[in-house]
Amino acid sequence: MNKEGKLYALLATARIANVPSVVSNLGVGVLLGSLETGGNFSWPWLLMIAAVLFYVSGNFLNDWADREWDMVNRPERALPRRLFWPHEYLNFACAGIAVGMILAAIHGWGAVIVAVLLVGFIVLYTKLHKQATWAVIPMGLCRACLPVLGYVGVRGGMGGSMLFPAAALLLYIIALSLSARWESKAEVPGGKKLLSRMLLLAAGVVAALLPMMVMPLVGWIGMTAFFMWMVLCVTKYQSPVPAHVSALLAGIPLVDWVTLLPVALIWMHLYRVETFDPIFSIAVFLPPAAFVLGRLLQRVAPAT
């Protein structure tokens, strides 16, 4: 692909490599909510499109807000190169958020409320992330809203099980964002690096709590791939910082797998699902597929 062309610039702005992880994050909430609801399972395609629109629109809004900073620090991006006008990015972001809200509304008022919170965190992060270190928290809350959106969208209400993947994603994204703030520097400072690694470890543990509480002997299984990838992230992909951040971004779906893989096996053990049920197949294969696809898409356009 021509890295000087507009298509490449749009894919980079959209952070297309991270879109599979958005689907996975939504999916963990969808699957947990669907199992608790009972009845026939069907994938909420419109809610998935809404989640993707919120994510992509947030990236366009972020690049619009950062256009002056990018002129100095990220001149390779589309707006500093004048491939598009700033108002085009802003218009697309607003339109994408509006369409996402309409699609979320189809799944009820609960989904609308979560979507409003998600967009609010996007706006708050966009406004503050270059000014305050604590802006990594609303960044994490943006991701944490995705499993909640999936859960509420299919179940029509809140539930305790959705809090575990949401909290795990919050911790993981905060850890990732602490490193991403140093992306234009040679290396992450030692103190920030240690805090980031501790939060990554905590994210994996929190994600495993739900299945561990149900069946401890099975609940740890999903942690294997997650911690193997984290070891690679802090060794082989430790530097340069952009490579480290890209590896962590690719690993986001593995946080979902820490919960979903053992939960799927527990469902099967308790005869709540069968091997060929769509809900079982999605739980087992969606997160690793999103991980692989995200890593492949990083070869098409940068994830940051």
CATH topology of domain 6-297: Tetracycline Repressor; domain 2 (1.10.357)
Q: What is the pLDDT of residue 1?
A: 67
What is the rounded distance in angstroms from the CA atom of residue 35 to the CA atom of residue 295? 30
What percentage of the chain exceeds 90 in pLDDT? Answer: 74
**pLDDT, tens digit (0-9, with 9 covering 90-100), for 133-148:** 888 899 999 999 999 9
Residue 222 CB partners (closer than 8 Å, separation 6+) = 207, 208, 211, 257, 258, 259, 260, 261, 262
Structural domain spans, the chain: 6-297
What percentage of the chain exceeds 70 in pLDDT? Answer: 95
Q: Give the HSE-up count for residue 27: Cα atoms under 13 Å, Cβ half-sphere.
A: 30
CA distances from 225 to 45, 142, 233, 277 (A): 28, 24, 12, 23
DSSP string, 152-215: HHHHSS--GGGHHHHHHHHHHHHHHHHHHTTTTSSS--HHHHHHHHHHHHHHHHHHHHHHHHH-
| pLDDT above 70: residue 182 | no
Q: What is the pLDDT of residue 247?
A: 96
What is the rounded distance in angstroms from the CA atom of residue 284 to the CA atom of residue 263? 9
| pLDDT above 70: residue 185 | no
| pLDDT above 70: residue 187 | no
What is the rounded distance in angstroms from the CA atom of residue 150 to the CA atom of residue 28? 7
**pLDDT, tens digit (0-9, with 9 covering 90-100), for 14-36:** 999 999 999 999 999 999 999 87
Tell me what the pLDDT averaged over the chain comes to.
Answer: 92
**pLDDT, tens digit (0-9, with 9 covering 90-100), for 78-94:** 999 999 999 999 999 99
Is residue 263 within 8 Å of 210, Cβ to Cβ? yes
Q: What is the mean pLDDT of the segment spanning 190-214?
A: 90
What is the rounded distance in angstroms from the CA atom of residue 178 to the CA atom of residue 111? 29
What is the rounded distance in angstroms from the CA atom of residue 129 to the CA atom of residue 151? 28
Confidence of residue 40 (pLDDT cuts 50, 70, 90): confident
| pLDDT above 90: residue 183 | no
pTM beyond cutoff 0.75 = yes
**pLDDT, tens digit (0-9, with 9 covering 90-100), for 188-197:** 666 677 888 9
| pLDDT above 80: residue 107 | yes
